[in-house]
Structure 1
């Protein structure tokens, strides 16, 4: 007979008769989750557009339409899958992590399929092939990423430990970014041109690394929080949606994240053309990827003491102000050398880094606020809504990237681009980011209500309620 105490939702197991205590193993396991995610996510966001335009010879505008349709579909898939997972009974291995293992294999296979080039096929074949394989990959990505993102709140109920998971998740993304952005251009391009065989080789290598990371995430992570039968029965979509409508921090961070992801995806797609065409050096992308990873790694130990002193909102807003100022300065000097551009943009990357490092902690805060408003802890559903906003941002950004390249006159079939097209690409990578970062600064300052003092008060209120319960 099992005499271990029942683990209630929102409470972590702490006794010796339960499972092992939270520790470094969980942090490393959670790191591997985003490590695995981002091998293909970054490969797709940074290089799939150039693969479609230069190898499949699909127009940039059509690629933009494909990205727009797929991301809108993915956003719906996130909500559907998140609600599905939230209402399932957990297995003996947990509620979320079994789905990571189950769905990782079809996800990686679909990722490799996107980069298959069949010689001799007509142009009419590659367009529907791109639509089918890309939308399939995006759908399967939801089935892994939603349980992964939701799992953090089930690994531990302690806010400090959850913050450490957020930091390790960011580190996983950095390591993947370092590998893909540094090694990717060296693997994928031959003589400054996209090569079909090398793209296939890259997809296979990153696929093997990705599946290894997902297995490590499953093996090393432990879910300690459980929801009871009664709590599952109380879940009501109408009540959930009503509570979200009253959750001002959630609505604010959804808008902020949507704009941030739109910009990230836009610049990620167009930056390839900036270095390949404007500066004439696709290999320079490797140095850029290395510098970005190093800068974020430098920011990681600074983030915690800065947040402890000033607050998450305050640090994130300051970072956006710095990034906005840097990119507006770059926009004012279009004749800058590639070395000068990389050096100055690295300062802007530091500003962006602080937002990236605290964004998952923002999500934890808005989930806490949802509990204050509704009395329910619905981590999976709230996280899927947040992911929904991110996918909308990716959808719009993917569409804007293709349409914007077409609007400035980029021609994939041309050996050299017109000066007007090159100038337009430069503005897309400098003026647009500068303006958007300043908008994000204003939104954080004036629309996001959870500053340091209010966040601490909310945490104390929830702790008091749980103690009384």
Structure 2
């Protein structure tokens, strides 16, 4: 009997006859969830900093402080919301997905407000406007993203199916990235400068599309594993934390996830300045998005067979090592022109893609391992703490990104940046991510759940749940 058969048998025992089996509807529904999330997440990651510096005339250092403060606040909001969700009962429509639908409308409305300009207002007003709208948006993002991410662990218990869910989630994010990174620069930049009116129009359009995606996620996804209601008791959180501290897979996933988010935000923040100023070609950002998304879609069909043969950990370590080598090589290729840079960075992103595609499956396995160690099923709590680490990564990246851009001497008021500023921007966009990708590869190498142990964990939990019924 294969390692996957006990899981399927347990799934058949725990599902009622009225619940349809895992299939394409779940994959598309889960894809739409991250598609909706990333319409604004990537929009803000890619354009909000330059919108603040060039339209609101906020200094890059002040924007960095805003990003850091907001993300640190969001990190705690994630955990608070995760604990709240774990204490909510499962409804006839599931435990997690109803919250996605409920909170998506205020989330999108606040997202549009971030890109709203009010004529006649002072720079001080816009600084306050940025702080309020961005922090509120980030808090509301937690109320949608925590139940969405937690939902994967109750859609299916099978490790390969979870990898498929993670893959489809990544495809959803990639599709949003394709739209934003390819169409976005062509829409929001006019004569190499960002347009306030076009930015607002883009935010409104993406807001409507995001709501449509959230509704699709709600309608198409099915929760099959009933997560128990966790009664809130004094000392529960401390006990959960003690269990997670003993969870070595959780600790290494946490470290890798934090560093990956840090790297991703630095790359996204710096890329706009890299192409706008270093290469003097903001329009090339569209091509960057197109080529990098193309490499991602080339990677997607390779992931499932490679994971089935070698395992998530194994392919992720190789991919991140390759990405590190490529970015460090780019650093030593100063003077490279726009097109070769785009091609080589896209090849590097293909290596990184193997990890990013399966990253959510790592988290589902970590949730299972927490249950294995503690007999506690705390999907939202565990996911929220991983999310918290990513928010800390965003906070540090936002702060580092803004401060680093300011530190190399970037000045939005001058037309042409001095050469030493351009060289500094190039270093931020190549050597820094190259080093960080190497660090992630080390963290993933230390992650203890290889292919064999992951399959055994799924089989052990299936048997344990069967005995508890």
Bin for the TM-score computed over the shorter chain: over 0.9
- Equivalent in the alignment of 1:338: 338
Contact 1:29–1:218 under 8 Å retained in 2:
yes
Contact 2:327–2:431 under 8 Å retained in 1:
yes
Residue-pair matches, total: 458
Structure 1 residue 438: Cα displacement: 1.4
Q: How does 1:6-405 map to 2 (within 5 A)?
A: 17-228=17-228, 232=231, 236-405=236-405
Structure 1 residue 276: Cα displacement: 0.5
Distance of 2:15 and 2:428 partners within structure 1: 55
Instruction: Name the CA shift for 1:467/1:131 in 2 (closer, same or farther; >3 Å).
Output: same
Structure 1 residue 360: Cα displacement: 1.0
Contact 1:12–1:224 under 8 Å retained in 2:
no
Where in structure 2 are there 5+ consecutive unaligned residues?
1-9
Deviations along 1:431-453, whole A, 9 cap, x unmatched?
111111112222222x3112223
Contact 1:36–1:209 under 8 Å retained in 2:
yes
Contact 2:160–2:304 under 8 Å retained in 1:
no
Q: TM-score, normalised by structure 1?
A: 0.94
Distance of 1:455 and 1:15 partners within structure 2: 23
Deviations along 1:373-427, whole A, 9 cap, x unmatched?
1012211111111101011000100000000000000001111111111000000
Contact 2:165–2:361 under 8 Å retained in 1:
no
Contact 2:270–2:425 under 8 Å retained in 1:
yes
- Determine helix, strand or coil for the equivalent of 2:79: helix
- Equivalent in the alignment of 1:5: none
Structure 1 residue 39: Cα displacement: 0.3
- Equivalent in the alignment of 1:458: 457
State yes or no: 1:409 paired with 2:409.
yes
Deviates more, 1:106-115 or 1:88-97: 88-97
- Equivalent in the alignment of 1:4: none
Structure 1 residue 20: Cα displacement: 2.3
Structure 1 residue 94: Cα displacement: 1.6
- Determine helix, strand or coil for the equivalent of 2:92: coil
Contact 2:159–2:455 under 8 Å retained in 1:
no
Contact 2:96–2:148 under 8 Å retained in 1:
yes
Instruction: Name the CA shift for 1:233/1:137 in 2 (closer, same or farther; >3 Å).
Output: closer
- Determine helix, strand or coil for the equivalent of 2:199: helix
Where in structure 1 are there 5+ consecutive unaligned residues?
1-9
Deviations along 1:96-143, whole A, 9 cap, x unmatched?
111111110000000000001122211111100000000010000000
Structure 1 residue 156: Cα displacement: 2.5
Distance of 2:111 and 2:12 partners within structure 1: 36
Contact 1:13–1:19 under 8 Å retained in 2:
no
- Determine helix, strand or coil for the equivalent of 2:95: coil
Distance of 2:232 and 2:66 partners within structure 1: 39
Structure 1 residue 216: Cα displacement: 0.9
Distance of 2:228 and 2:435 partners within structure 1: 47
Q: TM-score, normalised by structure 2?
A: 0.94
Contact 1:328–1:434 under 8 Å retained in 2:
yes
Distance of 1:457 and 1:194 partners within structure 2: 53
